Structures are given as structure tokens and as C-alpha cells.
Amino acid sequence: MNRPDFEGLSKREKKELKKKLRQEKTDKEEKNLSRRKTGKKIIKIGIGVLVLGLIALFLIQGIIDNSPDPRGSGLITISSEVHDFGTVSIRKGTVSTSMEIINKGKGKLVLNGLKSSCMCTTAVIIINGIQSPVFGMHNNPGYKQILEPGEEAQLKIFYDPTAHPDLRGPVTRIVSIYSDDPLNSEKKVKINVNQVA
């Protein structure tokens, strides 16, 4: 910084000039201090936002980690989710089919019952030779059975064409299986029929 030229100035002018220079220096130092404070504030805010973001991430991860792990639960699988009976005659009466319900999970699977989409369709579950009550559209008795991991049950579905004696042509019905599977508490099985006289 160049020193000011005091030559030719009176004592009073020199004093005022020195005072002005000191004020400019003080102002400059205050600006620098203010900039440093602002910079520190920005850094503190940035660190605060980063910390809050990390806390939020850990909280979300904790929520995800505490959610039920379906791999440790029972997971319902059906050997076939669609069955086509083909042509079904009213004269020949009720037809039936069977499929397997399998617990593919690592925990117990609780079966809570069945329900059909129409009165012409009923179903039962058979576990170790023991048959459940008959389930239908309106007949849904209380039921609870456990399948151990890897254990299978038989699902037997009945279609009675005489429930709709005037019906002709293609028919689709649904049987819903209810369980405590955390990913699929209502598993649906479809049957197709072409009904004739």
C-alpha cells in the first residue's frame, strides 16, 4: 500500500487524512470480518443440512429395516392359478379339480379361509388328509390352519353347472384363498368352463 503524500498539507489536513485512512482501514477490516462470518454461517448451514439429511436417511433405513421381512414369513404359492375344465354338461353334474397350496416362505403360513365368486363354485382345503369345511360365495365358516415352511395342502375346487341351468357358453369363476402372507394376503385361482346342456 502506498503511503499518502503529506507534503504541503497543514497539520489539520494531515490529521484529517490520517483519520480518513484509519476509517477506510477499519471499514475494510469490518467487511472482511463480515465476509468471514457469512462464509462460516454458510458452512454451518451446509453442515446442518448434511447432518439432517443423514439423520433422515438413517431413520428411513431404520423404518425399512423394521418392516416385516417376507422372507421370514409364510409365502403362499399355488401349483396352478388357472384351470380350464373345458366343456361341462349340466347332465353330467359337478366337476372338480385339485391344485397344491405350498408355503414357500421361511415361516409359518396361516390359511384363513376361502371364498368363491359365485354360488356355483365351492372349495375345500385338505391338509394331511383332514378336510376343511366347504367354502362358497356365501358360506364362509371360521377357519384357521397353519402350513409349516415347505408344507403343502390340497385345494379342491368344485363347479356345479346345475346352479345355473339356463347358462350356456364360457364361464369364469374365482376362488380367493386368504392367508397371512405379507405380500399376497388374497391369492386368486381362476377356473374356466364352457357350459352346455
CATH number at residue 110: 2.60.40.10
Is 128 part of any domain? yes
Q: What cell was used for 182?
A: 405379507
What confidence score (pLDDT) does residue 62 get? 61
Is 3 part of any domain? no
Is 5 part of any domain? no
pTM over 0.85: no
For 26, 34, 65, the CA distances from 31, given in Å and listed in that order, are 9, 5, 50
- Looking at 37, 67, 97, the residue that finishes a domain is 67
Single out the residue of 186, 135, 123 nearest to residue 159, CA to CA. 123
In a shared domain, residues 101 and 187: yes
Q: What cell was used for 60?
A: 428411513
In a shared domain, residues 53 and 114: no
What confidence score (pLDDT) does residue 6 get? 67
In a shared domain, residues 49 and 81: no
What confidence score (pLDDT) does residue 69 get? 54
- Rounded Cα distance between 154 and 180, Å, is 18
What confidence score (pLDDT) does residue 137 get? 93
Look up the domain containing 76 and give its range. 72-196
In a shared domain, residues 88 and 109: yes
Is 182 part of any domain? yes
- Rounded Cα distance between 164 and 173, Å, is 13
- Rounded Cα distance between 111 and 104, Å, is 13
Write the single-letter amino acid at 145. Q
Q: How many domains does the chain have?
A: 2
Count of CB atoms situated within 10 Å of the CB of 92: 10
What confidence score (pLDDT) does residue 189 get? 97
In a shared domain, residues 14 and 110: no
- Looking at 67, 96, 111, the residue that finishes a domain is 67
pLDDT per residue rounded down to tens, the chain (197 residues): 455 666 777 888 878 888 888 888 888 888 888 888 887 888 888 888 888 888 877 777 665 555 455 556 789 999 999 999 999 999 999 999 999 999 999 999 999 999 999 999 999 999 999 999 999 998 878 899 999 999 999 999 999 999 999 999 999 999 999 999 998 999 999 999 999 99
What confidence score (pLDDT) does residue 94 get? 96
In a shared domain, residues 54 and 115: no
In a shared domain, residues 42 and 124: no
